[in-house]
Amino acid sequence: MSQSIRHPQILEIARRDGKVTVDQLAKHLGVTLQTVRRDLTELADSGKLERVHGGAVLPSGTANIAYEERRRLNADSKTAMAKACASMIPEDCAIFLN
């Protein structure tokens, strides 16, 4: 079975089951474990899957944003909310935020 046929099948199984394993794919596709590992590596390199121990999963679609970037994100809205909250605190009072 050629790679051009295997890759779409692997992705279809991953979408259906949420994950794929090397052993499961080797049996299903009738190829060696090494062939499956190579396919999963290629799919991971292209961003279509993420490799995990013994197989692969679909990419999460989320990414962590650096702290400084998060601070700048929606800065005007954050400042407006902070001012609105501060205006509700009576004079001569202290608050603790956790």
Taking only the tens place, the pLDDT of each residue in 18-52 is 999 999 999 999 999 999 999 999 999 999 999 99
The fold of the 3-57 domain, in CATH, is: Arc Repressor Mutant, subunit A (1.10.10)
54-98 pLDDT, tens digit per residue, is: 999 998 877 778 888 888 889 999 999 999 999 999 999 988 888
Expressed in percent and rounded to 5, the helix, strand and coil fractions of the chain are: 55, 10, 35
**What are the extents of the domains in the chain?**
3-57
Report the pLDDT value the prediction gives residue 9, as an integer from 0 to 100: 96
Q: Is the pLDDT of residue 14 over 90?
A: yes
pTM of the model: 0.62
Quick one: CA torsion of 82, 86, 87, 88, rounded to 10 degrees?
110
Report the pLDDT value the prediction gives residue 24, as an integer from 0 to 100: 96
